[in-house]
């Protein structure tokens, strides 16, 4: 099991060799919460090539590494169908053994800091209400729940949407 001490981790930009591990993590975590089938990000083509897909301007993806092992990650990207000033927090998933140690908070802060550096005004995200701990994390950062989806992500099976002003 990877170390869970907050001193034995690093958050870094994704590298090509991380793609397979991150795809495995996403495909392991999403079924835990019943997020399989049409309308979930587990089926996004980018899951297998996160490094390549997050290299464009306005995109960033970070991995969490503990004891030399990638155990989670998250990224930001322009919101599809958005106005250009809104980014979307995407693919934020962690293996069960590293949850509850503050890593989500650190990785989310890293993503939001990068979004601000890139000039985004708003961060949007969508998830499922079954991911209760994630919802609490987002709200602790000031994300406010929305009554419906924004943009055109294609994730029509999500049932919880949030937005945060970055300015």
What integer pLDDT is reported at residue 39 of this predicted model? 66
What pLDDT tens digit does each residue of the chain (167 aa) get?
444 445 588 999 999 999 999 999 988 887 777 766 676 666 677 888 899 999 999 999 999 998 889 999 999 999 999 999 999 999 988 998 888 888 899 999 999 999 999 999 999 999 888 888 888 999 999 999 999 999 888 776 778 999 999 99
Asked if 97 and 25 count as a contact pair (C-beta separation under 8 A), the reply is no
Q: Residue 14 and residue 12: Cα distance in Å, rounded?
A: 6
- Report how far Cα 137 is from the mean position of its chain's Cα atoms: 12
Q: Per-domain residue ranges for the chain?
A: 9-165
Interacting residues of 165 by C-beta distance below 8 A, sequence separation 6+:
121, 122, 142
Please report which residue ranges of 83-126 form alpha helices under DSSP H. 103-117
Give which of 141, 10, 100 is closest to 63, Cα–Cα.
Answer: 10
Q: For the structural domain made of 9-165, what CATH number should be given?
A: 3.40.630.30
For residue 47, the 8-state DSSP code is G
| pTM (two decimals) | 0.89
């Amino acid at each position: 099991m990877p170390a869970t001490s907050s001193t034995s981790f690093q958050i870094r930009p994704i590298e090509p060799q991380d793609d397979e591990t991150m795809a495995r993590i996403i495909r392991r975590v999403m079924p835990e919460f019943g997020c399989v089938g049409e309308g979930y990000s587990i089926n996004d083509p980018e899951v297998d090539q996160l490094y390549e897909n997050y290299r464009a301007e306005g995109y960033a993806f970070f991995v969490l590494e503990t004891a030399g092992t990638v155990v989670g990650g998250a990224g930001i990207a322009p919101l599809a169908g958005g106005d250009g000033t809104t980014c979307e927090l995407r693919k934020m998933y962690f293996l069960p053994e590293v949850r509850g140690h503050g890593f989500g908070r650190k990785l989310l802060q890293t993503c939001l800091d990068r979004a601000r550096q890139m000039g985004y005004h708003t961060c949007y995200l969508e998830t499922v209400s079954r991911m209760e701990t994630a919802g609490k994390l987002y709200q602790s950062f000031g994300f406010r729940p929305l009554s419906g989806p924004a943009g055109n992500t294609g994730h029509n099976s999500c049932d919880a949407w949030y937005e945060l002003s970055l300015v």
